[in-house]
Chains A and B, each alone.
Chain A
Amino acid sequence: MGYFQSFIRQFRARLIVIIFVNNALIVADWYIVDRVVKLTGLWSLIVITAIPLITIGVVPWLSTKVLVQPTKFLWQAILHIAPHNTEDMGTPKLDQLHLGRELVTNLINQVYQLASVVQDVEQSNIKTKLDLHTNFVASSLPLPLLVLDKEENIIYANEATGKYLGKPADELTGQSVYTALDMSFLSDDTLSSWIKASQGKSATAEHKWERVRIGLPGQGDSLLFDLAGYYNQDNPLGYETLLVLFDHTEEYAQDDQAMSFVALSVHELRTPLTLLRGYIEVFDEELGPTLNPELKEFMKKMNASAQQLASFVDNILNVAKIEDNQLTLQLHEEDWKKLVENVVEDLNLRAGVRGITIKTDIADDLPTVGVDRYSIYEVLANLLDNAIKYSKGTNEIYVTTNINKDGLVETSVKDFGLGIDGSILPHIFDKFYRNHRNRAQIGGTGLGLYLSRSIVDAHGGQISVNSKVNEGSTFTFTVLPFTKIAEAGKTGNNPSITRNAHGWIKNHSLYRD
């Protein structure tokens, strides 16, 4: 009340001054006209009337400016914070105010305080609305939806996510997305690599992945999803990454069934194959000595054909396994020289019946290598099998092994046969790819090189080819010395290291570069 009282006093004082000055002017006017200048008649009437008339014009104008100033400042203050005001009145400059400064300052403060309360209320209203909105939309969404923070931890998972993973959605909150979702991607274009790339450079980003395999915890099963991600670095609520999953398990399973059917049928070949190989062996051993050279040669060819059929069946089944993410490598320390010699010995029969000699040149100082002996056997066997098939009348194949400049164990299989046209070289490691020119002449499924590349990749090595038409081809692949593998997997004293085959790269896997 004190401010108001002092404002009234100031106001009254100014009014008194104004009225006094006004009256003093009129009295002085009369005095000057009547006594000093001594005007009479019409002239005195004109001058005496003129002065009050002028003050009527000037005094209200001047005094209004002063008296109304506090009101004006208040008006400015209110407009300044009014939400829908577009008129710019400027901010009140309180140091220019003389009349009722305390009262106005106080009132303006009150106005500002009220305004900030209103704003708080409004904001909390907006937030509640927003929460209600997201929760409602997200929880009625039948697709799994996840929201991640900057550390890639889950801050929100809707009910559909929980349903797919078989646990309550709120249990997922706070977990790393890589713990909650056991994801495998088709290539090294993974969720974590995308987020990492986005964090580096863009404010927002979008990405889609197909055929992401998500393992279900505690069950051997997995589902196949398409995954869509939206990244927003500056999301005010900290929702950095949004993920939506689309379940395509059934559609993809249908694609895969074509392969499974082949695998199943091929499987049925194995029992008769086992028997054929058994009987051939018995006949070869027990009848062999009595046969004439021609029949002996036939016996060998029969044996070689049965062997070839067996490796063909293995190839198909292994590709099916890769497609189904079931091919797992157990990397052990192995003597590479022994392994190579072993494969060459097994393939010699097939080479021999075609009049081909396999020559080996294996460096003596090779370190032990870290390989899955069964899978890497297939690689070398496939390359040799190809070399035999494409040798076309030439009669030598070279297998050489040495250490390359990167310290990796490098093995080459060189033939002098048909060779491969430069235009198709880039595709020969693709699945089902076959040189159409040769298709009619030479059999095969186009799976051998695809399989070889997959297996070499999974070992951390590389496979390449050099070829000239009519001069032959050289396939070269590398495997890692065991010490390098052991270094990469330094997690404990486990003697073997397990890896998934190419095609399915685990997110945050220990062995990714």
Chain B
Amino acid sequence: MQSDAATTTAPKRVLCIEDEHFISELYTRALTRAGYQVDVQLDGQKGLAVAQTDMYDIILLDLMIPNITGIEVLRTLRDPAKTPKMHAKIIITTNLEQREDIRADIEQQADGYLVKAEITPKELVEFLSHLDI
């Protein structure tokens, strides 16, 4: 079960900013098996710093993370004054229902939005394989 996108060239790199250890473990397992190279960050602040290095093709961003909210991470990454333009696609992964105003922000700035309880790891891999990277 290797993804085509991940095997033809160098493996795609995924940053998973997620504080729920069991979830990141499951995602890492599925993504690694599909040929991605996965790094996990449990902390928002550290996750942001790592994301800003622009080493990743895909960033999976949880919204409830320690120290700084996922929304703030998203806004910082998409703010030209704070982060130089990076090539990574940002996918919000959350189990939290969003207030309308926040949802509008997400729709404008993120490249995808997934409710974790509604997808299995395999469906996540399937979703990412359709991303244009």
Chain A, interface SS category: helix
Contact between chains at A275 and B97 (CB < 8 Å): no
Give B92-133 as 1s and 0s: 1 = Cβ < 8 Å from A's Cβ atoms: 000111011101000000000001111011100000000000
Give the Cβ gap from A511 to chain B, nearest Cβ, in Å.
17
Q: Are A271 and B26 in contact (CB under 8 A)?
A: no
Q: Contact: B117 with A285, CB < 8 Å? A: no
In whole angstroms, what is the CA distance A277 to B121 when docked? 8
Query: Cβ of B122 and Cβ of A285 under 8 Å apart?
Result: yes
B20, B22, B95, B120: residue with the most chain A Cβ atoms closer than 10 Å: B120
Whether the pair B100, A273 counts as a contact (CB closer than 8 A) is no
Q: Are A310 and B118 in contact (CB under 8 A)?
A: yes
Within 8 A of B (CB), among A311-341: 313-314, 317, 320-321, 326, 328
Q: In the complex, are the beta carbons of B29 and A282 less than 8 A apart?
A: yes
A220-B99 Cα distance, complex, nearest whole Å: 9
Q: Is the CB of B96 within 8 A of A267?
A: yes
A314 to B95, CA, bound (A): 10
* Tally of A interface residues using CB under 8 Å: 24
Q: Is B55 on the interface with A (CB-CB < 8 A)?
A: no
Q: Does A238 contact B (CB under 8 A)?
A: no
In the complex, are the beta carbons of A274 and B97 less than 8 A apart?
no
The reply to whether A270 and B117 contact each other, CB–CB distance below 8 Å, is: yes
A278 with B97: CB separation less than 8 A: no
CB distance from A98 to the nearest CB of B (A): 89
Give Cα A282–Cα B97 distance, bound, in whole angstroms: 27
Q: Does B49 contact A (CB under 8 A)?
A: no
A-to-B contact residues, CB < 8 Å: 220, 263, 267, 269-271, 273-275, 277-282, 285, 310, 313-314, 317, 320-321, 326, 328
> What 4 A-B pairs are tightest by C-beta distance, nearest first?
A270-B95, A278-B26, A270-B117, A274-B116
28 contacts between A and B (CB under 8 A): A220-B100, A220-B101, A267-B96, A267-B97, A271-B20, A271-B117, A273-B117, A274-B117, A275-B22, A275-B26, A277-B117, A278-B23, A278-B26, A278-B27, A281-B120, A281-B121, A281-B122, A282-B29, A282-B121, A285-B122, A310-B118, A314-B115, A314-B117, A314-B118, A321-B97, A326-B97, A328-B100, A328-B103
